[in-house]
Amino acid sequence: MAVAAPPVAPKHIPVLGHVLSLTRDPIGFLQNLRAHGDIVTFYLGTRPVHQINSPELIRQVLVTDARHFSRGKIFAKARQLFGDGLATADEPAHMRQRRVMQPAFHHDRIAGYVNVMREQIDETVGGWVPNKPIMLEQEMAGLTLRVTAKALFQADLGQAAVAEVYRSLDPILNGLAKRSMMPVELFERIPTPGNRRFDAALRRLLAVVDDVIAAYRAGGVDHGDLLSMLVTHVEDDDEVRAQVLNILMAGTETTATTLSWACHELVRHPDVADRVAAEAESVLNGRIGGADPDRMTYVDRVLTETLRLHTPIWLLMRTATATVRLGDVTLRPGAEVMVSMPTLHRDPALFPDPTRFDPDRWQGQGATDLPRMSFIPFGAGGHKCIGEKFAWAEMTVAVAAVCARWRLRLRPGHQVREVARAFLRPNGLPMIPCLVDTAGSAV
Ligand code: HEM
């Protein structure tokens, strides 16, 4: 598709392309492409994908020339399954939907959600028992799902429905990522146990969401939440359902994964945990879960550094809809391009000593001198995350509440690895919560 062809990634195998290298170590593979140029081609089977490595060209794809790109294949796949929602729609539907949804994510509305966040975080963190092991990533997944469900669909997703969404979402998200990487669609139709699990989970999830929408329509009450707003402004129930699913898909695992990584880094860096606790103490005044997200500047740096090193969304994909010139490469309509966030966020030219977790790199000159588009955990341009402020408030309150009360310890013998599925996650975080005594040490 490209006229001045970009270099092809090493270890290309006929027919298979780079699927083996990608399956073995996707993040390492994509990071190594950086050394080969600003645009590098790799193959999913026989399908070429062009990875964009320079911040300027990334800006062109996501912002200045965004009108010449549609969403990538992963979104087309999600759209087939869930219908057209904000996180999957292309223009002009996308702009119309964004206008309907935007008011629910305004700064003043977020302030209202913070109360729900506090309640849920208090319940989660307050429920831990000293020295009784927890699986942290599951705690965080449950937390963010309840927060999202309660803040945006305030009335009753109902306990049972929330549990059902929780059970179904994970196999669906992972199945979706796998399917978009498959060179041939036929694989999806083979009744393998994985495909059957995916189909069953999807059926359950759709049924639950349809029930909630029907209950809202029947009740006719404005709960002041996103679903009430959708039901009022959108007549088509399929579109309402698509939006609900989009928010659940986009807003829960992303935030939960980031929170899990943040806690992992706090375990590895007790000095950072102490500084967070000190800041939390001065802001919380003893009220667990009472953090004011706007006042926590150190927690802000901790979360920023977590998002740099452990960006949960590890790739953005787009498809050219017109001929586009990117640097000295010309892309034809249909060409697939990709931005890999770990490749960008771990570039030593942008972030010296990139694998080091260092929240203080985000203060002073170093942070302000960064080229535009070198740090894009929430994306950029017209599709930039609508839930960024929501996620930020939730993560700030959660990290402050955890550190104010607990010091976590990793279960001895467990090795944490990153696993690239739908999101870039830890392989598991078995933790032991220990109470903090008044002198700040774990007891
Ligand atoms: C740490 C947490 C989060 C991260 C890292 C994150 C990241 C992202 C990224 C990178 C995109 C852009 C995708 C693209 O350009 O193709 C995006 C879009 C989106 N996010 Fe988030 N997100 C987070 C939390 C949330 C939350 C809490 C919500 C909702 C409650 C949400 C809802 C959405 C939606 C609806 C879109 C599509 C926006 C559009 O295309 O107009 N996200 N997110």
What count of residues does the chain have?
443
Ranking 145-159, 242-256, 396-410, 413-427 by mean pLDDT, the lowest is 145-159
pLDDT-wise least confident of 155-159, 292-296, 316-320: 155-159
Q: What is the pLDDT of residues 329-362, one digit of tens each?
A: 999 999 999 999 999 999 999 999 999 999 999 9
């000293």: which residue's tokens?
130
Percent of the chain at pLDDT exceeding 90: 54
Domain ranges within the chain, ordered by starting residue: 1-83+314-357, 88-265+408-443
Please determine, for residue 87, whether its predicted confidence score (pLDDT) is greater than 90. Answer: no
The residue to which tokens 């199945």 are assigned: 175
Statement: residue 223 has pLDDT above 90: no
Question: Each residue of 157-166: pLDDT tens digit?
Answer: 555 666 777 7
Q: Which fold has domain 1-83+314-357?
A: 3.30.43
Ligand 1 atom 17: residue of nearest CA: 385
Q: Binding residue per annotation — 385?
A: yes
Q: What is the DSSP letter of 357?
A: -
From the options 1.10.1370.30, 2.130.10.10, 1.10.630.10, 3.90.470.10, give the CATH code of 88-265+408-443: 1.10.630.10
What are the tens digits of pLDDT across the range 155-188?
Answer: 555 556 667 777 787 777 767 666 655 555 566 6
Helices marked H in 354-426 — which ranges? 365-368, 388-405
Beta-strand relationship, 424-426 and 47-52: unpaired
CB 378, CB 92: distance < 8 Å: no
**Contact (CB, 8 A) for 414 and 428:** yes
Q: How far apart are CA 259 and CA 296, in angstroms?
A: 16
Per the listing, tokens 């000295």 go with 328
Percentage of residues in the chain having pLDDT higher than 70: 89
Q: Which of 71, 229, 384, 385 to mutate to test the pocket of ligand 1 (most atoms within 8 A of CB)?
A: 385
Of 212, 328, 309, 213, the residue nearest 265 (C-alpha): 309
Atom of ligand 1 nearest to the CA of 392: 1
Instruction: Take atom 39 of ligand 1 and give the residue whose Cα is closest.
Output: 383
Interval between CA 95 and ligand 1 midpoint (Å): 15
Average pLDDT (395-401) is: 93
